[in-house]
Structure 1
Amino acid sequence: MAVRSVVEQATQVLRRAILTGALAPGAEYSLRELAGMLDISFIPIREALRTLEGEGLVVMRPGRSAVVAPLGLDDLRGIYRLRRALEPEIAARSCLLLSEAELDRLAERAAGSGAVAGTDDDPHAFHLALLAPAATTWDIRVLTPLWRAGERYVRIGFGRTGPGPAGHRRDGAAHGELIAAFRTRDPATVSAAVERDLARTEKIALAALT
């Protein structure tokens, strides 16, 4: 259990460093360098990198090194193409199942913190909560790596455009619009709202490439 805990912690630390750009896209690091950064042995680093490779965040190289996955327009377009194919449809079904109590809880969170991508340890919890009533295990398995891969672009885009308090309010307002759409219980309204939110975050993500 102790070893597993170290692996999980290493995965979280490395994932956060990649998503924020602290470990730069395209940069290559040896396992020795990464182990030194985290002050742990090779074994948990190697296991953590395998997990991150499965999420599309690193590319393992023969020997003892890994490359932070580069940013690319084709990858970004692919991420959002797949998200658009899945999320509006799931949300359209979920709006008929999500309780008012859960919507109230999410509304309170959005109003209180802005739920800004890049500030929470789990920035996808809000969207997952909206989709959960209608999402299958496989839906979540497919969406999770897409969310994490796209999050890197969004975080770096926010970092370069400087979201600040205005950005926090803007993001909170966008999440409030999603909740308002869900309260209508109209699948078409919800689907359109999710499409608009995806277009908004894709625009921010594009800032990471300019």
Structure 2
Amino acid sequence: MIRVLVVDDHPIVRSGIVGLLDTEPDFEVIGEASSGEEAVGLAAELDPDVVLMDLRMPGMGGVAATGSIARSGGPRVLVFTTYEDDDQILAAIEAGASGYLVKAAPAEELAAGVRAVAAGQTVLAPSIAAQLVARVAAPRDAAPPELTPREHEILTLVAEGLSNPAIAERLYIGESTVKTHLIHVFEKLKVSDRTRAVTRAMELGILR
């Protein structure tokens, strides 16, 4: 049996996913979580084979929860979401997700994805794979955005794993100032979170 933990903040959606998985004879849904924090706790407590993870949830989102589970050596994570934004896709994969499927996928594709991830394979919905290929193939001759020295300094510290309060303490500035600089960094790099800001800066050669 493949033991699955289902994570989604919408009870009706979560119930529908559980219902789909329950029709498969080799699946056992052993738990449900409505937040990233709950998912991390249940993943450690229940030790499922696969965590089926939504992305956007109140509090800790799916990307952060995926990263936490991956860093702890926990179960494999299959992202299952309505969102096809390429920054979200890359952030989830970089955080340690073993696959990325969209909720518009047919039931048989979801079941096949769970089985593949449980077997140690990587799974990407065709639309997601096409986006990643297009992104890799896109011209890269445009000049990267310019960060101010302070923005670069703060992003470097983010890459080292420091939190906003720790960065503020290191640089002798207020935490609100750190947040303001990061907002400007996100805007310049066209990203929505710290993890993707670091990886995008590395892609562009801003960080090494």
Q: TM-score, normalised by structure 2?
A: 0.29
Q: TM-score, normalised by structure 1?
A: 0.29
Q: Write 1 or 2 for the structure with the bigger share of strand.
A: 2
